[in-house]
A and B are shown apart, each in its own frame.
Chain A
């Protein structure tokens, strides 16, 4: 069970900061920062800069993504924005537009 869950029909306009896992089924506009894992589920819409330990995207994200560990865009997921992370995967069927900085 994730610490923070934005449910399917819910929209947050503002800033979410935390120290625990975050799952987005709904909509978030603003900024999101967590020291734990972040997951944007299929159907989830995020228009925000994201910072997390790891980011999994199955929904739609517009914004820059920074992860300490990894960023994964799953099939059906869509990311428009720059990625900064040591590990980055784009699954078959995912969309991505932006630049990647793996800190090499």
Chain B
């Protein structure tokens, strides 16, 4: 769960946003958002929420639907029941059993094996 604070934005369950969302702080999406998100804080797509657009954030947690590419400096968590289609790029990606995915994962990992070659 992302902690609530003054720099936390929320799109409520009965709200829809069409357009670009950018700035500092975090974003919790409970409703629907169609557009790109670029924030310095964490992004949470709640269960029941729909995000169609690319995400750039510190971290990402998806419990609802995401269609778009995500780039995070931190980790990405896909919860059970989530539906994600796109490319997920973060320091780590974890996927709970029960999530439905059509994604490409990139955690920028370099294996020792590759280095020795």
B39 at the interface (CB under 8 A from A): yes
Using A8-B6, A25-B6 as known contacts, say yes or no to A15 and B18 having CB atoms under 8 A apart. Answer: yes
Q: Which residue of chain B has the shortest Cβ distance to A11 in the bound complex?
A: B23
Whether the Cβ atoms of B15 and A20 lie closer than 8 Å is yes
Interfacial chain A residues near B40, Cβ < 8 Å: 9
Whether the Cβ atoms of A7 and B12 lie closer than 8 Å is no
Residue of B8, B10, B17, B24 near A14 (CB, 8 A) is B17
Pick the contact of B19 from A4, A9, A10, A13 — CB < 8 Å? Answer: A13
Q: Are A4 and B11 in contact (CB under 8 A)?
A: yes
Interface string of B18-45 (1 = CB under 8 A from A): 1111111111000100010001100000
From known contacts A12-B21, A15-B17, A17-B16, infer whether A4 and B31 are also in contact, taking CB-CB under 8 Å: yes
Report whether A19 and B9 are in contact in the complex, using a CB–CB cutoff of 8 Å: no
Q: Chain B binding site: helix, strand, loop or mixed by DSSP?
A: strand
Q: A7-B9, A8-B6, A26-B9 given as contacts; is B27 within 8 A of A16 (CB)?
A: no
Inter-chain CA distance A13–B17, complex, in Å, is 9
**Residues of chain A within 8 A of B8, CB atoms compared:** 5, 7
Q: How many chain-B residues does the 8 Å CB contact rule pick out?
A: 26
* Bound CA span A65–B1, Å: 36
Tell me how far the C-beta of B25 lies from the nearest C-beta in chain A, rounded to whole angstroms: 4
B68 to chain A, nearest CB (A): 15
Q: Do A6 and B9 contact each other (CB < 8 Å), given the known contacts A14-B17, A14-B19, A18-B31?
A: yes
| B13 lies within 8 A of chain A by Cβ | yes
Please state if B25 and A3 are interface contacts (CB–CB under 8 Å): no
B106 within 8 A of A: no
Q: List 18 A-B residue pairs with CB atoms under 8 Å apart, sorted by A's residue number.
A: A2-B10, A3-B15, A7-B9, A8-B6, A9-B7, A9-B23, A10-B23, A11-B22, A13-B21, A14-B20, A15-B19, A17-B16, A18-B12, A18-B14, A18-B31, A21-B12, A22-B15, A27-B23
